[in-house]
């Protein structure tokens, strides 16, 4: 009977590891798409935004708004995986051992995801105020330089 419980736990841990791996790949793709956002402001970009401002029916999201939505979805997925780990008590804090179901552990903290959402939300609101002339990489670097974010950035690896 104990072998069956260990087998089930091992399968559940493998599923959790696969979910975390998928999340890391999706987060990497999201970061790459944010880095590749058009930060150069040309005359044609200005004209396109000017025309878009006259068209009130346009339901298309800007790339920055899409990035913010994508980060919010990633955050929700991370929180779901974290709560699943806490609910089933599969992995202890070291992340290397199976634990018995009766032992209670805390969910790993989701460091950095709320900071990333806050940074992108701030960039989005600044873009709206300035008419799209925000430098996203500068905003991220300024936010990461604050002492409160050094701990969160350090724990993302």
Condensed to tens digits (0 to 9), the pLDDT of residues 9-68 reads 788 888 888 998 999 999 888 888 877 775 556 677 666 766 666 665 556 777 778 888
H helix runs in the chain, sequence order: 2-35, 43-54, 63-88, 113-130, 136-145, 147-154
Segment 87-106, tens digit of pLDDT: 877 666 555 554 444 444 44
User: Which of 2, 1, 3, 14 lies closest to 90 in space, CA to CA?
Assistant: 14
* Unique residue bearing structure tokens 């997925």: 77
Q: How many domains would you assign to the chain?
A: 1
* Unique residue bearing structure tokens 């670097």: 141
Contact 13, 91 (CB under 8 A): yes
Segment 102-155, tens digit of pLDDT: 444 444 444 455 666 677 677 667 666 666 555 555 655 665 555 554 444 444
Report if pTM > 0.85: no
pLDDT at 11: 84
Q: Which residues pair with 98 in a beta bridge?
A: 91
Domain span at 18? 2-154
Contact 124, 145 (CB under 8 A): no
Q: Which residues contact 149 (CB under 8 A, 6 or more apart)?
A: 115, 143
Contact 23, 84 (CB under 8 A): no
């Amino acid at each position: 009977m104990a072998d069956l419980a260990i087998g089930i736990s091992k399968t559940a841990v493998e599923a959790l590891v696969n979910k975390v791996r998928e999340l890391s790949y999706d987060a990497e793709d999201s970061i790459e798409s944010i880095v590749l956002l058009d930060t150069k402001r040309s005359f044609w970009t200005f004209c396109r935004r000017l025309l878009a401002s006259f068209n009130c029916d346009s339901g298309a999201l800007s790339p920055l708004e899409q990035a913010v939505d994508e980060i919010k979805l990633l955050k929700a997925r991370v929180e779901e995986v974290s709560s699943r780990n806490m609910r089933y008590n599969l992995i202890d804090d070291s992340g290397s051992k199976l634990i018995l179901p009766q032992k209670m552990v805390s969910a790993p903290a989701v460091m950095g995801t709320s900071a990333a959402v806050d940074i992108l939300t701030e960039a989005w609101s600044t873009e709206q105020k300035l008419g799209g002339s925000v430098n996203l990489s500068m905003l991220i670097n300024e936010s990461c330089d604050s002492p409160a974010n050094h701990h969160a950035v350090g724990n993302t690896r």
